[in-house]
Amino acid sequence: MTETRWGRAVALTLIGIASFGSLLPIALAVLNAFKTTVEINLNPLGLPARLQWENFASAWRNASLGPSLLHSAELAGLTILMVCLTAAPCAYVLARQQGRGWRFLGFYFMASITVPAQLYLFPLYFLFAKLGLVNSIPAVALIYTAMLLPFAIFLLRTYVLAIPKALEEAAQVDGAKPWQAFFYVILPMMRPGLLTVAIIVGLNAWNEFVIAVTFLQNDNNVTAIVKFYSLTGQYSTDWGEMLAAAIIIVLLPVVVVFVLLQRRFIEGMTAGAVKS
């Protein structure tokens, strides 16, 4: 019994340290966003004398965050739409069809999950440059779609596998064509899966860096993350303002959605990782 109690004490201590460590940098960023640069320089860990709400106003204005947040939203929305539209039917056939060709297609998508961006990034960039597709948000949404499709297909496939086959067979006996069975029977039942996919795809599109920084280079299409990145150098001086911008870009939108839908986040991001 003492053994158990001791073990529990160790466990609780570890949990405490870990939670503290996970929150510390975030808390530090929030704290410093309310301080003047002088205060940060004097004591990075100290409390602000007065809450500097002006940091948020000047970050919003100087970084022109408004338009860049809209670009990010547009990019994320387009990507979600394209991934859901193309992954759902593909997941359906991969779950239902047997045979060599389909199995090969499944392996192909599985392998493409592990392909690094550097393997296709360079030719793609110069190809898009020739076609005038650099600095186009829909073109970047197409790249994101390709990157996130395999994940979406495998997640949705498990949802299709859980739907009894008898349902579509009944629809087909009633004279429904395959696309009708998919559209009216399967798709409505995939809704929870599609919501999870939408959340994870949206998060990835919102946070993505490499493709965004390479393909979207001017103020008419730059995303919020890249805007933030390019405004702040390693030895930036106005940290208060910069951190305020960071909070507007990630901490608020992403964390709010995370807190509301954390189960779906965790389900979607750990999908396929847990083996029985």
Partner 1 sequence: MWLFALPAVLINVVIILIPALLTFATAFVVWDGVGLPVWAGFANFQRMFDDPVFWSALGNNLVWTLIFLTVPVIMALVMAAALLVAPKGRLVVQCVIFLPRILAVAVIGRISQGMIFSPVTGVVAWLNEHGFSIADPLADPDRSLYAVAAVDIWHWWGFLTVVFLAAMRQISIDQIEAARLDGAGFFTLLRYVLLPGIQPTLALMMILTVIWSFQVFEFIYIVTRGGPAYGSEVLATLAYRHAFFEGDIGQAAAVSCVMSLFGLCATAVYMRLQIREGAQSA
Burial of 139 (0-12, 13-18, 19+ CB in 10 A): middle
Of the residues 67, 74, 89, 172, which one makes contact with partner 1 according to CB under 8 A:
89
| Nearest to 66, CA basis, from 268, 249, 251 | 249
Residues 105-124 that bind partner 1 (CB under 8 A): 105, 107-112, 114-124
Residue with tokens 């949705």: 156
**x/- map, 16-55, partner 1, by CB under 8 A:** --xx-xxx-xx-xx--x-------xx-xxx----------
> 């022109």: which residue's tokens?
64
Cα 25 to Cα 40, 130, 135, 239, 248, distances in angstroms = 14, 43, 33, 14, 16
**201 contributes a contact to partner 1 by CB under 8 A:** no
Closer to partner 1 by CB, 97 or 220: give it.
Answer: 97
The whole-angstrom separation of Cα 140 and Cα 209 is: 11
* Residue 164: CB minimum distance to partner 1, A: 17
Please tell me the distance from the alpha carbon of residue 212 to that of residue 151, in angstroms, as a whole number.
20
Residue 276 touching partner 1 (CB under 8 A): yes
190 touches partner 1 (CB under 8 A): no
Residue 236 binds partner 1, judged by CB under 8 A: yes
Check residue 214 for interaction with partner 1 (CB under 8 A): yes
Determine which residue in the list 34, 159, 182, 215 makes contact with partner 1, applying CB under 8 A.
182
136 lines the binding site for partner 1 (CB under 8 A): no
Q: How far apart are CA 171 and CA 7, in angstroms?
A: 57
Name the residue nearer to partner 1 (CB basis): 179 or 188: 179
Q: Which is nearer to partner 1, 218 or 276 (CB)?
A: 276
